[in-house]
Amino acid sequence: MRNDTSHLKIVFAGSVGAGKSTSIQAVSDIDVICTEEATSDEWRLRKDLTTVAMDYGQMNLDDGTKIHIYGAPGQQRFSFMWEILANGALGVILLVDDTAPNPLGEIEFYLKAFAAQLESRSLVIGITRSDLNSRHDLDVYRRLVASYDPTLPVFTIDARESRQVKTLTRALLYRIDPWLH
């Protein structure tokens, strides 16, 4: 337990459609603040709305600890927000859409994009939408991630399921501080 929980913050990152907004909606104990706008680029065929600045929610742990959760926009043209949101975060939850054209490439891209922030923060990876024509077995993802850091946990999750998103979040918190989950 921590006495000062005003700045405990984690960030959900990943590409468009990976489930960041959905995950935050699933676990937030407050009404989520969203900055969604109509999708105007190549993603409009896949989804109507996209996050342009951030999503914000709050997750209350059983011991009363409050975790501020932020969702980063997935479009690379909003990548300037990634560093802003990662500033002061305890860690990053990277979500990857298994049905994306190149999910392994997305993992590599985001691990490199967040490399500077991850030197002092923790990370876990959630593979979403694996129930829809899965492209890769979970072991394929784990082998790729192990080439960067053999201790990084990789899970499959349904971003709509609160219990699964909370498990992923607790895995991140445990990596940060075993007493915090």
Which regions of the chain does DSSP assign to beta strands (E)? Answer: 9-14, 33-38, 49-60, 66-71, 91-97, 122-128, 154-157
For residue 80, the model assigns a pLDDT of 74
Q: Taking 50 as the threshold, does the pLDDT of residue 5 lie above it?
A: no
Tell me, rounded to whole angstroms, the distance of Cα 124 from its chain centroid. Answer: 8
Instruction: Retrieve residue 33's tokens.
Output: 């603040």
CA distance 10 to 121: 10
Q: Which two tokens stand for residue 113?
A: 């994009």
The structure's pTM equals: 0.84
Give the CATH fold of the 9-176 domain: Rossmann fold (3.40.50)
Per-domain residue ranges for the chain? 9-176
Distances (CA, A) of 31 to 11, 59, 117: 17, 11, 28
- pLDDT at res. 61: 85
Which pLDDT score, from 0 to 100, does residue 81 have?
74
pLDDT at 175: 87
- pLDDT tens for residues 127-180? 998 777 667 788 999 999 998 888 889 999 999 999 999 999 999 998 887 666
- Please give the pLDDT value at position 92: 92
pLDDT tens for each residue of 69-123: 999 887 777 777 778 888 888 899 999 999 888 999 999 998 888 787 677 778 9
